[in-house]
Amino acid sequence: METRVTDNPAQSRYEIFTTVEAAPGTSTGPVAPPLRATELVGFAEYFVSGDEVAFTHTEIDPKFGGRGLGGRLARAALDGVRERGLAVLPYCSFVKDWIAKHPEYTDLVPEDRRAAFGL
């Protein structure tokens, strides 16, 4: 499964897309390859204030659950914030829990705010 994560500032969210194969029998001819489509499968909403990005909600389409897509989304979103030199406020429980499991991202949360997030 091919995935990509993009920042969609107009919607204030990072989005994860995956390329999915069409159902068998939906190709365009006897020798045509299966159809492929890119589908939005989840997002991580955020709010930017000054030099901080507050993550407020993360969602993965249930039909794509259990495939690690939430983790890929969190990692890419946090890497994007790091590249911009901003701090993270993980109000979203998924992002907070993901940071807790990946301590190499704890430095993104301001030190004086970590205890409030249980980090």
Is 14 in contact with 44 (CB distance < 8 Å)? Answer: yes
Instruction: Give the residue extent of every domain in the chain.
Output: 3-117
Nearest to 90 by CA among 66, 70, 119: 119
User: pLDDT (tens digit, 9 = 90+) per residue, 31-58?
Assistant: 555 556 688 999 999 999 999 999 999 9
Confidence tier at 25 by pLDDT (50, 70, 90):
low
Helix (H, G, I), strand (E, B) or coil at 113: helix
Confidence tier at 65 by pLDDT (50, 70, 90):
confident
Is 5 in contact with 73 (CB distance < 8 Å)? Answer: yes
Alpha helices in the chain (DSSP H): 69-83, 93-101
Global pTM reads 0.84
CATH class of 3-117: alpha beta
